[in-house]
Chains A and B, each alone.
Chain A
Amino acid sequence: MAKKLSAGSMASLIGAAALIFASIKFPWWGMKFFAPQYPEGLDIIVYPSTLDGDIDIVNGLNHYIGMAEFSNESFPELQYLPGLIIGLAVIFIIIALLRRKSLLFVPVGLLVVGGALGIYDMNRWLTKFGTELDPKAPIELEPFVPPIIGENILANFVTHSYFTTGSFLLGAAFLLTLLPFWLERRK
């Protein structure tokens, strides 16, 4: 039987679980829009469980170009994402408690796969909203896909998409899942 994980590695994994768990309470991703008549900017802020920001105002503006309405209902992910996150945190804790070195690949793997799926999903939504525009919309626009990260210009709006606190917590959790590999390297 392989050697047990050190206390440091355990702590690292539990720390990762704590960060993942904490990320539920923080926004993960956001988009901010600026236009001459909105110098203060409009916000879309995405939490794992809900949308926040100036959603109604953005919807009001989007209706000009025939974009579907944003709402919590339009993203079923928001219903089960918190559950997935909690599950992930629990798995991390179990692995920490089992103290089996061979299981160290599981957290890293889960985060890599989860992250990739998440980004794929986001891109899918952005493509859907940006390209499936109502043909009867008052203003006709070429279909477009807003970037997941970075600046974009659409009509008179400059948009900035960005990852924020929750995602950074996940990133930190990812580093904490890598840390045991280094801690256990000589054993």
Chain B
Amino acid sequence: MKKWVPAASGLLAGFMAATVFFADFSTGPKGTASNDNNANKSNAEKVYVPYGELDEYYMLSSGGHSGQLFVYGLPSMRKIRTVPVFSPDPATGYGFDTKTKEMLGGYTWGDFHHPAISETNGEYDGKFVFANDVANNRIGVVDLSNFHTADIMEMPNMGGPHAGTFVTQNTEYIVMPTRFSVPIGKEYAPLDEFEEKYKGVVSMVTFDQEKKKLDMSYQIMLPPWSYDLSDAGKKVSGDWIVMTTYNTEFATTNNEINASQNDRDYIVLLNWKELEKKVAAGEYEEVNGAKMIDPRKHKGSIYAVPVAKSPHGVDVTPDGTRFIASGKLAPLMTVFSFEKAFEAIKSGDFETEKFGIPVLPYDKIVEREVDPPGALGPLHTQFDDRGNAYNTMFISSEIVKWKIDTGEILDRTPVHYSPGHSTATEGDTASPDGKWIVSLNKIAKDNFLSVGPSHPESMELIDISGDKMSLTYTAPVDPEPHYAQTIHRDKIKTIKIYEKDEKREHSVWKQEDTRIERKGNEVHVYGIAMRSKFVFDAKAKRPDEIKVNQGDKVIIHLTNIDLDQDITHGFGIMDHDLNYEVQPGQTSTIEFTAEKAGTFPIYCTNFCSALHQEMSGYLLVEPK
């Protein structure tokens, strides 16, 4: 008996040691992350853009509540530029210099959701990109010749323009339907009066490309539903816009439950051409400075199509013949035919009328329902050049590729995780390129080095050029890429420097013309920045000194006379919370009141040359 005790204990010790040293301590079965090294190698080659070469596409991505536009190169996914639109940016002086400060109107953030590139014949023309601020009812526009915000406009009567921006096919209008219904003018009204007093409003904005000025053309008053992602028609459907709605229940509290009761919500079809005519004919009311038209009082311009409940996205196919709605809560995609809808409208074939809007018969308009087994939470649709649609599935974390004409599911690829929008190369134009799609994922836990409880969001690049989709690359991203549009690089023509315009207000182009002028208690500085000095007054003993009295209003106009690409100068004043930049050939102005007496160094904040460090001067504020 005694003999087996040491033998057994020896064996046990052996097992213990083996377990301690060699066992796999991870728990449970493993997932199927790609470990195919060959595939990864060729993927690396696909995204590698060697020195001296450029990316093929610009991806213009919203920055969500950062209020910024993120610019990426595709396929490398390198971030090329952050363009401040609704938020100040000390790096570029956006929101600090006089012009941009006025443009921001006192706000320090905005919620940038859906960029829309200007279009000609349903194609991106690469001139401007429009953006909505869901938080403060604004629209902004970025000039793609210099990637600067050119104009911002606040819109009355809106409750968050979430369902925009999108443009009609020749940028006649930039359209923004409201997300939250509010009483007109946001006047006080109890929520018990929601159905009567609250309104959903669509803003129809125009943009003067010459003057770079936004203007409110007219607004459309709709029932107090919530409007979600929308799109403009193309070609045959070019006069129309389609919008998803939810909360046809008129819920006013606990919306997650109460706004999800009805089995059907609606897609709203609006004929903007028709409305435009009626507005021109004076059929509108003036409401808080906007021309407001109620399409329910003007027959022929609004229709509703029933759709599976709480739809999120609706997208028009590249050929403009169909629109595809995705039901967030009823997990299927529905393909509707514009032509059938137009027929029903023509023959007055209405199922019923709801809230004064004729409702088209679902069965007669629908072309097909597409319900990939197990796919949950379809949100948005993008397209390729071969008649296929690509849908993000928020809940089942995948992208599904299917054939529009047949509804056949062609391929599915997992993404990591919870994709909202996606952007295919030229994927929502009349002629998509069908090369890449980027999935904009809300969650990315475990995919990148940990930075604590909150992880970056992610963008995943998927090759869609072949029959099968191929997940190629992933990159972390600042919060929050909401939607993006991807445009071929050939369509964007940037300027190299700002034209030397000697007539430009406040500009100075020669050192000897620099001067400091006093008008009462205002001090106007007409200065220049050049490698590697500031000249504020060439005739002064110290040309780089600005001397004022305490309490003076100081206005500094600075022109960068280095007409050399990429030689940007900064201008920071110590202890004044002021920094702005002048790009080559640009004139910018800041204003401030010299409240603090004292000596404050001024220096170039934007690295400009070998002698950048020497580029400095002084602001002297003489005490009262």
Q: Is B530 an interface residue (CB 8 A)?
A: yes
| Other-chain residue from A54, A56, A64 in contact with B611 (beta carbon distance below 8 A) | A64
B530 proximity list for chain A (CB < 8 A): 60
Q: Is B478 an interface residue (CB 8 A)?
A: no
Mark A121-155 against chain B: 1 for CB-CB distance below 8 A, else 0: 00000000000000000110000000000000000
Q: Is B257 an interface residue (CB 8 A)?
A: no
> Contacts A60-B530, A60-B531 hold; do A138 and B564 have CB atoms under 8 A apart?
no
Q: Is A57 an interface residue (CB 8 A)?
A: yes
Within 8 A of B (CB), among A19-42: none
Least Cβ–Cβ distance between A3 and chain B, in angstroms: 61
Using a Cβ–Cβ cut-off of 8 Å, how many residues does chain A contribute to the interface with B?
A: 9
| Other-chain residue from A57, A60, A64 in contact with B610 (beta carbon distance below 8 A) | A64
B532 proximity list for chain A (CB < 8 A): 138
Further 10 A-B residue pairs, CB within 8 A, beyond A57-B563, A57-B564, A63-B531: A54-B564, A60-B530, A60-B531, A60-B562, A60-B564, A61-B531, A64-B531, A64-B610, A138-B611, A139-B610
Q: Is B614 an interface residue (CB 8 A)?
A: yes
Within the assembled complex, what's the spacing in Å between the Cα atoms of A138 and B615? Answer: 12
Within the assembled complex, what's the spacing in Å between the Cα atoms of A138 and B531? Answer: 12
Within the assembled complex, what's the spacing in Å between the Cα atoms of A138 and B532? Answer: 10
Mark B542-585 against chain A: 1 for CB-CB distance below 8 A, else 0: 00000000000000000000111000000000000000000000
Mark B434-451 against chain A: 1 for CB-CB distance below 8 A, else 0: 000000000000000000
B residues in contact (CB < 8 Å) with A: 530-532, 562-564, 610-611, 614
A56 proximity list for chain B (CB < 8 A): 563-564
A139 proximity list for chain B (CB < 8 A): 610
B610 proximity list for chain A (CB < 8 A): 64, 139
CB<8 Å pairs between A and B, sample of 19: A54-B564, A56-B563, A56-B564, A57-B562, A57-B563, A57-B564, A60-B530, A60-B531, A60-B562, A60-B564, A61-B531, A63-B531, A64-B531, A64-B610, A64-B611, A138-B532, A138-B611, A138-B614, A139-B610
Within the assembled complex, what's the spacing in Å between the Cα atoms of A57 and B567? Answer: 10
Max chain B C-beta neighbours (<10 A), residue from A56, A60, A139: A60
Within the assembled complex, what's the spacing in Å between the Cα atoms of A139 and B614? Answer: 13
Within the assembled complex, what's the spacing in Å between the Cα atoms of A54 and B496? Answer: 14
A54 proximity list for chain B (CB < 8 A): 564
A63 proximity list for chain B (CB < 8 A): 531
Top 4 A-B residue pairs of the complex, sorted by shortest distance between their CB atoms: A57-B564, A60-B531, A56-B563, A138-B611
B531 proximity list for chain A (CB < 8 A): 60-61, 63-64
Within the assembled complex, what's the spacing in Å between the Cα atoms of A115 and B530? Answer: 39
Within the assembled complex, what's the spacing in Å between the Cα atoms of A9 and B379? Answer: 85
Least Cβ–Cβ distance between B273 and chain A, in angstroms: 48
Closest-by-CB residue of A relative to B584 is A57
Within the assembled complex, what's the spacing in Å between the Cα atoms of A64 and B564? Answer: 15
Closest-by-CB residue of B relative to A37 is B566
B563 proximity list for chain A (CB < 8 A): 56-57
A61 proximity list for chain B (CB < 8 A): 531
A138 proximity list for chain B (CB < 8 A): 532, 611, 614
Least Cβ–Cβ distance between B360 and chain A, in angstroms: 59
Closest-by-CB residue of A relative to B500 is A56
B614 proximity list for chain A (CB < 8 A): 138
Least Cβ–Cβ distance between A53 and chain B, in angstroms: 13
Least Cβ–Cβ distance between A154 and chain B, in angstroms: 15
Within the assembled complex, what's the spacing in Å between the Cα atoms of A61 and B530? Answer: 11
Within 8 A of B (CB), among A45-69: 54, 56-57, 60-61, 63-64
B611 proximity list for chain A (CB < 8 A): 64, 138
Within the assembled complex, what's the spacing in Å between the Cα atoms of A56 and B584? Answer: 12
Closest-by-CB residue of A relative to B533 is A63
Within the assembled complex, what's the spacing in Å between the Cα atoms of A60 and B561? Answer: 10
Within the assembled complex, what's the spacing in Å between the Cα atoms of A60 and B608? Answer: 12
Closest-by-CB residue of A relative to B614 is A138
Closest-by-CB residue of A relative to B562 is A60
